[in-house]
Structure 1
Amino acid sequence: MADDVRRLSDELARDPGSRVFVPLGEALRRQGQLDLALKVTLRGLERHPHFADGHDLLARISVDRSDLEKAFDEWDMVLRLVPGHLGALKGMGFVCFQQGRLAQAEEYLSAAAAQGDGDEQVASALEHVRDARREVAELPRDPSRLPAGTTHDPRFLFADVLSEAEQTALLLDRDGLVMAGAYVAWDGRDVGQEVGAELSGVTDAARRATRHLSLGEWTSIVFETEVAVVAMTPSTNDGLLVLATSRATPLGLVRRLLDRCAERARRWQGGRI
């Protein structure tokens, strides 16, 4: 691989206008040299702005850099340049699935599968997405569509605050018991009780840590994981409000959603709902 990088680098140096920037960028990407791969690819696209393979490479580099929105935009460009491009359809399906946009993920993967090349990876991904859609569809999300008499069910306290299927919120008491809301896993299961048990004591631990560091009272914590963004804020009587969204959710929106859920929780606990 190192020899390939040297050879391709020399070739690109001899002819900066060459399209060899694509295999060079791919070799660098595979080596994990993402910053250099990005630099090489962007320079190449400056000379070849309509080269689909270059945009496809930039999309894959963006995925490796956890920039799914950029990846989606680049694959969208690939489809404009080469309608039906298999790699772009697969990539956009992957991004949509990661963002919780299951209907769109199914649409792109179905288009990829329809090309009839027998790609087992596409078939498996499509089946997985369809299974996830069926399971998520069984969980009511919108209070206006719930059966009569269930609109005041505490499980749906935050349903009209959260606008996307991949957003979920949970209100815990000081012992980690679920008071309201739900924590819905990707497969549609409510794992709120399990999450609450794991998070019991978080409020006290956060308070001790901030006081020890002379930071004052804690107001919120945001964690970015490989698959989600999780935000927490203290609630009434030493409780805890937990919000989880997809990794693609902007942090500013995460904080706004957390504030809205916190206000809803305060009103509910104060008997104003």
Structure 2
Amino acid sequence: MEESTRRSLEELSAEVASNPNSTAFVELAAAYRARGDLERAMRLCLRGLQRHPTHVEAHFELGRIYEARGERELALDEWGVVLQLAPEHLNTRLTLVRLYLDEGRQSDATAELERAETIAPGDPRLNEFRGLLDSGLAPPEAEGESGNGRGHVFESLGEDHPGTLGILLVDAEGEIIESHMPAENGDVQAALGTDLIEARAEAERVASYLQLGELKGMVVESKSARLTVSPVGRDVVIVATRTDLPAGQAALVVQRAWDLAESYLSNLNR
């Protein structure tokens, strides 16, 4: 989305405050969710849905909020409403693919992915999910570890911090610039592969609402990992750490990854 079409948190808040019928509450709720303010995000969505009960994106966003709160059943209820209102809602279909893969329900994931492929056959996320399914949930080959010269920026970080499961540096279009996924973490890589796809999509989604410069970072929790998404200029670094890693250690990993990403990008002629 072009810079001129993005709206700041202040602009969205002002619009919602001045016009109770505005649908900007969806964008504002997504921004608060990205910042970790789940209570405020949930209240915004619930209040907005009282005025706009059939707003598809509001139900989808409320599902994302419930999932972030650990209330998966409530999230599934909201996404069920989305599919009743809009059976071709691609993001909901792909979210269900991710959930089914996370739970090891390959047949359900395959069926949902096939539905998604009929909706948007050219969406690049489909190929990533299809690759996971076709390889029996093996993680995608880390781009940069197959002889193309990438994959070394974050290598020392993974060695120094055993709780690091994977790191991606992604550009504004969602393309991977650099990546590192330690081989010894194979026991969790299957689920982590789907989490990283979701985190990339989430980074793009939030970027479409707000200028990335306004975000300090956001956290995506899953069964297999804690993923922290942080802007580095117009790009994004995604750090996956074990869920049992102490918060202080995780913060150090994220900060170090950010420093490495910034240094690497500053030396690139892009």
- TM-score bin, normalised by smaller chain: 0.3 to 0.5
TM-score, structure 2 normalization: 0.47
Higher relative contact order (CA 8 A, sep 6+): 2
Query: TM-score by structure 1 length?
Result: 0.46
Q: Which has the larger radius of gyration?
A: 1
